[in-house]
Chains A and B, each alone.
Chain A
Amino acid sequence: MATEKTVFDAWLAGAELPYDLLIPLLHEFGGADAVFSAWKKREEHPLFKAVPPACRKRMNETASEESLRGYRDLAQTHGIQSVTILEEAFPHCLRDLPDPPGVLFFRGNPQVLKAEKPAAMVGSRSASWNGLKAAERIAEGLSRAGVTVISGLALGIDAASHKGCLKGGSPTVAVMGGGLDKVYPPQNEGLMNDILKAGGLLISEYAPGVRPSSYHFPYRNRIISGLADAVILMEAKVRSGSMTTVGHALRQGKEVFAYPGDPVSPLSEANRLLLREGARYFTEAKDVLEDMNWLDNLSYVGQNIECSPKTVPDDPSERAVYLALEKGNLGFDELIAATGLTSSALMSTLTVMQIRKTVEILPGKRYQLVRK
């Protein structure tokens, strides 16, 4: 039974063995269940002797009937399945990693991993408003062209990328930093359910019940880049988790894309660094598709490719605001100076333009034209 297998996989993964011990163990015994029964019988095996004491303790503690039942319950209630590196179903791209996960847990549709165009999108949790919007827009464009967007279900860029991908109609993959029974961060519970509903996949190398820890995330990032053919950096600082993903991608020989972002913002300093060092430059989903040779598919709807024709409003005050904002985003006082409107007239005009979705407001009370 699938769940029985998952229970033993969870037991083995829960020990958090180093990969260079976990994988030989699996090969030696031919599966987690066999490892389990041998461990239970206290067989003297040279590989068992190499198990570090902390892992040994965990393996003993979780070998009880009760904790196995706990794994079974978690797997059943959340529909968690598992696959080991020995099985054919294990993603090929991950086999070739220098430090592959021995066991993978997943929820949702595993067929998604066979997608032809997997792209990872990464970036900061506290990104700028424009960064978030760009991530969503580009993910949507990629998704329309049939690209599977892979990300980490964190707040900020990750969430925006998943959302954009869902909008575009393709399934999306979230690689988590803890057990798949936990929603982390909790704010993204709705998004997680949406991903599953849309035929997407949640994936993790951590056993059910494992809490997400800070050291899990940078390590997990090798799976994000490993699953993808292209890694797209939306907005990050130089010292950040996103840059560890980029580092993994470079070691794994993946294509790295960097979004230009705001040329002076410290939030996109890593983007500038990468572009300078030769990362692929892109501003639209189309650019990524072209560079990756993914444009063969005609299903791509070119909504995001062409800039929409300029539509200067007819109303005199709206026109004045539009022309002022064409040069860049402005604060309220600057808009008054540029348009000559009174405060109350400008407020009315801005509301109308917000409703028409020609103007949007950024944090810090700055206004800008909506990019179509």
Chain B
Amino acid sequence: MDYALMAKALSMGVAGVNGFPVHVEVFATGGIPGMEIIGLPDASVRESRDRVSAAVINSGRQMLPRRITVNLAPADMKKEGPSFDLPIAVGVLTGMRELLPSPDYDPEDTVLFGELSLDGQVRPINGALPMVISARECGYKSVILPADNAREVACIEGMRILPASTLAQVIRHIEGTEEIVPQQQLSYGDLCQERIITADMSRIRGQQAARRALEVAAAGGHNMLMIGVPGSGKTMLARCLPGILPPMTLEESLETTRIHSISGRLAPGSGLMVIRPFSAPHHSTSVISLIGGGPNAKPGEVSLAHNGVLFLDELPEFSRSALEALRQPLEDGVVSISRIRRQAQYQSSFMLVAAMNPCPCGYFGSSTRVCRCTPNEIRKYLDRISGPLLDRIDLQIEVDAVPVKEINASVLCESSAQVALRVAAARKIQQERYRKEPFFCNAQLSNDALRRYCTMSPDAEALLSAAVEAMHLSMRAYSRILKTARTVADLDHAEIIASAHVAEAVQYRELDQKYWR
């Protein structure tokens, strides 16, 4: 009987942004010594046996000459990644009776995951957050995970989180000789206190119009397009946006961190994300890296920007297919990716901030340099951005270059924190107003909701029709202006949209008249 022994350990796998429980079953018997891993493992899981053997020996235990079968159940789901090293090692040791669990240890209730190094260290893995969230949803009570992943999951309530640095530590914990100290729970509020804003608006000189537009965009969640000559500061302006947007709620942070966690974008030892993500893919990006996909249906840049900002510099240089693919996430806030082996849905509700030059050479309308583009070239350049995409961008603003003497001026401008206060107040008004609606900010207003929530004073109405007449604006521009005016009024704490609000909102559509007529 000594030669046919069973052991079990519990772990988690990841599909999309959700974890699922994986039962690691180990069967050790006589025969030709070796280890076989079954249950649809990928290459990194199969290589686990070599890491496990070395780690076990380097943790002071023996690898007995046994025929070992490791089954990862459910057997019909693909398992990938090195996170099964730890549960396999524990299962194998138990199966060989090299490890005798103490009666306090419940293998059916303790989730294990982590990569092992050959010397028995436990290394951080991707996707810790979604695994722990799903483990809690499945009703498990404790989890042993790599120490470097502990902060990432430290905000989750109702779980005993046991950070481990070595396999030996895990073995001693299971044997009951030395308990692992549970990770202290971190409150999300405390994490937020630590947030450091790297791009502050006080560093921007001049650009009064663009600063204000940024504030309006942040307050209403509007998408924004900046047009300006090279070096006018478009990128710098965009980078300031995460700092003036309201802080993420715990739910938002969990959603966003989860996506970053499975993509391996979190630095080891980092906690939940407290600053909204800022994703800036290069214009040579492919549709797949932008939207997500590949054989394993990985999330793309739009999902990494979930609850944050997607910044597309040099917008017309993006491939047409990449730009058109943006339409679904812009509309629905979610992308569905379907591949032969995987289907996944990733949330991707982001603020789009785009920047572009006014013409191919970049100097159309510049007061200092001469544009060498022909009218035809300019037209072709601008035509690369399709109407439907443009239609989803509420604010369009021209950014002019700031003179050098102004850059050197030591006048301190308003900081992000001051702007953020006004933005937060405006967001609060919106949340209050839309509490019974499925949306929460002005940018999401449908045409129907627009009529319900955007009451204009009579002179505001008169002004808007006069503006449409005088500036040859389309009906589409009309509703965009109304939406933006709603946000301007919210920043002003006004329930009825006054003419001054409409008048300001009109300025954010000027490019319509000038470039795309």
Contact = CB atoms under 8 A, between A and B. Distances in A.
Contact of A343 (B212, B366, B398): B212
A348 B491 CA distance: 15
Contact of B209 (A185, A187, A266, A332): A332
B503 to A, nearest CB: 4
A350 B406 CA distance: 23
A116 B89 CA distance: 102
B288 to A, nearest CB: 36
Contacts of B506: 351, 354
A332 B374 contact: no
A365 B375 CA distance: 19
Given A333-B206, A333-B207, A350-B507, A365 B398 contact: yes
Q: Point out which of B211, B406, B502, B506 has the most chain A C-beta atoms below 10 A from its C-beta.
A: B506
Nearest to B513: A361
B503 A366 contact: no
Q: Point out which of A331, A346, A347, A366 has the most chain B C-beta atoms below 10 A from its C-beta.
A: A347
Contacts of A185: 376
Nearest to B467: A355
Q: Point out which of B371, B375, B514 has the most chain A C-beta atoms below 10 A from its C-beta.
A: B375
B209 A343 contact: yes
Contacts of B374: 125-126
A126 B504 contact: no
B449 interface: no
B463 interface: yes
B229 interface: yes
Q: Point out which of A125, A155, A354 has the most chain B C-beta atoms below 10 A from its C-beta.
A: A354
A110 B37 CA distance: 92
The A interface is mostly helix, strand or loop, or mixed, namely helix
Interface string A262-276: 000011000000000
The B interface is mostly helix, strand or loop, or mixed, namely helix
B209 A362 contact: no
A319 to B, nearest CB: 16
Bin chain B's interface residue count. Answer: 35 or more
Contacts of B364: 363-364
Interface residues of A, number: 31
A336 B510 contact: no
Contact of A355 (B208, B370, B463, B501): B463
Contacts of A364: 229, 358, 364-367, 398, 400
Contacts of B488: 344
Interface of A: 125-126, 155-156, 185, 187, 266-267, 331-333, 336, 343-352, 354-355, 357, 361-366
Interface of B: 206-209, 211-212, 229, 358, 364-367, 370-371, 373-376, 379, 398-400, 402, 406, 463, 466-467, 470-471, 488, 499-504, 506-507, 510, 514
25 contacts: A126-B374, A126-B375, A187-B375, A187-B379, A266-B370, A267-B370, A333-B209, A344-B212, A344-B488, A344-B504, A346-B208, A347-B507, A348-B500, A348-B501, A348-B503, A351-B503, A351-B504, A351-B506, A355-B466, A363-B365, A364-B358, A364-B365, A364-B400, A365-B400, A366-B365
